[in-house]
């Protein structure tokens, strides 16, 4: 079957966006991605004068695209600094390969790069922690543990280096999955905290410049910029709740293009309405300090310490 040419210029197209009805050639596809990212950065005021931006770089397609995009976007700005930070969770057969890619991309783009491991900070790799959990409790989702420990570590490294923002490579699919997961779990608090209004100074503000770009397009953007895509998935990914939600959303998107965008837009409208109505008590966003480590938490003990205590670490 003949592939229709680029809707914008008539050159051979490389992608069809079902949600927009556009066929795009390489040039117009790259422009489209960069336009969406720049628009998001402007709308949410993600880059400000004097910023030192920590880029969470796993070496996968999303974080690689993020670093490439940031390098292009701040090319002319001498007042903004970038530092790439990577976390080595300790996932044998998986993480070492992506860390190698992270190192070589940061080198190629001449961006300072910091790597810190779970082993150094928490005393055990993720594989060891999961093994401990299996012995004690029979089973624990690797992703639940990993997500909490990694988020803390990224925040702490950013804080240590004096970063003013922490940029993460969440794409449209990730964000739509997170929103839907919270709806499905009925976790309204977590849903609202996706966009917290009151930040404590211990938290480095997280920015997500790629949330308007679908995962498939982030992958293609990376590929077109020479990033070698790792097709092997993390061995723990298939156990996660997110994995099921991802399949469900992809199935739904096939029949109803634009569903992921609708979820994101709907969520953002909801947050805006709450912001305007200002109906939530301020205690809702207030945090105390963890009794074990002193980090901010909504309960007595933070999630990191809860996990580590449970595992006797
Ligand atoms: Fe961590 Fe889960 Fe991601 Fe693997 S898939 S890196 S365990 S969050």
Tell whether 111 and 4 lie within a shared domain. no
pTM, full prediction: 0.92
The residue segments making up the domain with residue 27 are 1-32
Tell whether 137 and 281 lie within a shared domain. yes
In a domain, residue 37? The reply is no
Tell whether 19 and 73 lie within a shared domain. no
Reported as a single tens digit per residue, the pLDDT across 35-65 is: 999 999 999 999 999 999 999 999 999 999 9
In a domain, residue 83? The reply is yes
The rounded Å distance from CA 238 to ligand 1 centre is 9
Residue 302, CB-side half-sphere exposure with 13 Å CA sphere:
17
Tell whether 27 and 128 lie within a shared domain. no
Give the CATH number for residue 239: 3.40.50.620
Tell whether 287 and 185 lie within a shared domain. yes
Tell whether 159 and 299 lie within a shared domain. yes
Tell whether 145 and 269 lie within a shared domain. yes
Tell whether 100 and 228 lie within a shared domain. yes
In a domain, residue 39? The reply is no
% residues pLDDT > 90 (the chain): 74
Q: Quick check: helix, strand or coil at residue 115?
A: strand
Tell whether 79 and 7 lie within a shared domain. no
In a domain, residue 206? The reply is yes
Residue 236, CB-side half-sphere exposure with 13 Å CA sphere:
20
Tell whether 73 and 215 lie within a shared domain. yes
Better pLDDT: 313 or 134? 134
Tell whether 17 and 48 lie within a shared domain. no
The rounded Å distance from CA 27 to ligand 1 centre is 33
The rounded Å distance from CA 89 to ligand 1 centre is 9
How many domains, in total, are found in the chain?
Answer: 2
Of the residues 58, 88, 92, 240, which should be mutated to test ligand 1's pocket, given the most ligand atoms within 8 Å of the CB? 240
The rounded Å distance from CA 313 to ligand 1 centre is 20
pLDDT of residue 241: 85
In a domain, residue 38? The reply is no
Mean pLDDT of all residues in the chain? 91
Residues 6+ apart with CB under 8 A from 237: 143, 243
The rounded Å distance from CA 234 to ligand 1 centre is 6
- At 47, phi and psi to the nearest 5? -120, 125
Which is the closest atom of ligand 1 to the Cα of 143?
A: 2
Ligand 1 pocket at CB < 6 A: 89, 142-143, 146-147, 234, 236-237, 240
Nearest CA to ligand 1 atom 5: 237
In a domain, residue 187? The reply is yes
Tell whether 181 and 105 lie within a shared domain. yes
């Amino acid at each position: 079957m003949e592939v229709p040419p680029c809707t914008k210029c008539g050159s051979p197209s490389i992608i069809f966006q079902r949600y927009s009805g556009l066929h795009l050639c390489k040039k117009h596809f790259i422009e489209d991605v960069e336009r969406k990212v720049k628009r998001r950065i402007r709308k949410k005021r993600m880059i400000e004068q004097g910023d030192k931006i920590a880029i969470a770089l796993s070496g996968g397609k999303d974080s690689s695209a993020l670093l490439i995009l940031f390098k292009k976007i701040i090319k002319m700005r001498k007042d903004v600094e970038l530092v790439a930070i990577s976390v080595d969770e300790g996932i044998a057969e998986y993480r070492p390969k992506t860390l190698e890619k992270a190192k070589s991309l940061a080198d190629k783009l001449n961006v300072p790069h910091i790597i810190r491991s779970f082993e150094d900070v928490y005393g055990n790799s993720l594989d060891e922690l999961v093994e401990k959990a299996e012995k004690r409790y029979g089973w624990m989702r690797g992703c639940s543990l990993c997500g909490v420990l990694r988020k803390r570590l990224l925040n702490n490294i950013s804080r240590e280096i004096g970063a003013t923002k922490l940029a993460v490579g969440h794409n449209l699919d990730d964000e739509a999955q997170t929103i839907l997961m919270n709806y499905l779990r009925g976790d309204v608090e977590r849903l609202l905290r996706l966009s917290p209004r009151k930040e404590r100074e211990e938290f480095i503000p997280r920015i997500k410049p790629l949330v308007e770009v679908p995962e498939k397009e982030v992958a293609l953007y990376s590929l077109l910029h020479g990033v070698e895509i790792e097709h092997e998935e993390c061995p723990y990914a298939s156990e996660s709740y997110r994995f099921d939600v991802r399949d469900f959303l992809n199935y739904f998107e096939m029949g109803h293009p634009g569903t992921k965008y609708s979820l994101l837009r709907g969520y953002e409208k909801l947050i805006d309405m709450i912001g305007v109505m200002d109906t939530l008590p301020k205690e809702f966003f207030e945090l105390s300090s963890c009794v074990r480590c002193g980090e901010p938490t909504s309960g007595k003990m933070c999630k990191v310490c809860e996990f580590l205590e449970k595992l006797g670490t």
